[in-house]
Structure 1
Amino acid sequence: MASEREKMAAGEWYCCLDPELDALREKARRAVHAHNTMSPAERGAMAPALRVLFGAAPDAFLEAPFHCAYGFNVVLGQGVYLNAGCTILDTAPVTIGARSMLGPGVQLYCADHHRDPALRAKGLEIGRPISIGDDVWIGGGAIILGGITVGDGAIVGAGSVVTRDVPPGATVVGNPARSITRRD
């Protein structure tokens, strides 16, 4: 029988109320706390504490505060910038392409909880990946839901809630986010 972590990695329904997953979240909390409490001079582009959690280009820059659920599912490309208050609930892979910028308070939510209240109460959830291409700009306070791909060069307006894939070069705004223009 597969462990809850193995089910999570396979993109299946799993129970998040699991000792192994609890320990992994605690490891992430410690690393995030270390990052968030370092002075800017000590932190540099990215605190060493976060480097043990996820893959990132050496010049990726994460402002504090930052939060992630596990960290091991996060990959950041060259020149990625995450402004203050970004949250990544990485119950599935999250990739952010080169030179992409996330404004303050951007939230990436891979976790999706069960619709049946009894199963939800038992901690049943599923992780859906998020892929953000190269040269993407996501405005402050935007929310990207699990299962979404944001194409290269796209713009997501501040405060938008992205519930559908965003094509390369598109600009989307609103709740739910809708295309307002296509740049070529």
Structure 2
Amino acid sequence: MKSEKEKMIAGELYYPTDPELVEGRRQARIIFGKYNTTSPDETEKRKKLLDDLFQQHPINLYIEPPFYCDYGPNIQLGENIYMNYNCCILDVSTVKIGNNVMFAPNVQIYTATHPLEHKARNSGLEYAKSITIGDNVWIGGNSVICAGVTLGNNVVVGAGSVVTKSFPKDVVIAGNPAKIIKTIDNG
């Protein structure tokens, strides 16, 4: 029988009040709470806190505080990632972020979702869908990436976009809901 955490990661209905999950969120809040109060001069302390939060050692990761997430270890990071102020990642399921990715201020990434039927939703059950962000992606300020989305390599997301579906590589997308605005010639 699967644990609630295993169900959560697998995208199955699970109870978020499970003690293991509550503790995981508590630990993340402690770590990013410390991170968010560090000085820009405390580079080694910041690096250690991020290593502890993500449980990996990302190369050339820079996050402007404040930063928020649900768990941390469900976020898989490539190299050379910049996240501007007030990034929030609900990493109930996996979030894979490629190399050379930039987030403008207030980018929100939500793997978490809920049943549409009110009885199921009111039961306390929820689920998640993983998100994948390719290499060389730039996400504009105040954009929201919704559960289940995959963004191909070299995608540019216009500011204020709500991305509700997946997009292929080499496109500029924008709007609510986001749609392809143009193709990028990365030849």
| Stretches of structure 2 lacking an aligned partner (at least 5 in a row) | none
SS of residue in 2 equivalent to 1:172: strand
Root-mean-square deviation (CA, aligned residues, Å) is 1.4
C-alpha distance in 1 between matches for 2:96 and 2:60: 15
C-alpha distance in 1 between matches for 2:44 and 2:174: 32
SS of residue in 2 equivalent to 1:95: strand
4+ residue segments displaced more than 4 Å: none
Q: Would the alpha carbon gap of residues 156 and 41 (structure 1) be closer, same or farther in structure 2, given more than 3 Å must change?
A: same
C-alpha distance in 2 between matches for 1:45 and 1:94: 24
C-alpha distance in 2 between matches for 1:45 and 1:61: 13
- Map Cα deviations across residues 121-146 of structure 1 (whole Å, 9 max, x no partner): 23211111111011100000000001
Give the drift of 1:77.
Answer: 1.2
| Stretches of structure 1 lacking an aligned partner (at least 5 in a row) | none
Map of 1:56-95 to 2, 5 A cutoff? 56-95=57-96
C-alpha distance in 1 between matches for 2:28 and 2:134: 25
Deviates more, 1:63-72 or 1:8-17: 8-17
TM-score (norm 1): 0.95
Q: Work out the number of aligned pairs and report it.
A: 184
Give the drift of 1:46.
Answer: 4.4
C-alpha distance in 2 between matches for 1:33 and 1:133: 28
Structure 2 residue aligned with 1:133: 134
- Map Cα deviations across residues 72-119 of structure 1 (whole Å, 9 max, x no partner): 100121110000000000011111111110000000000011112232
Q: Percent same amino acid at aligned positions?
A: 45
Give the drift of 1:40.
Answer: 0.9
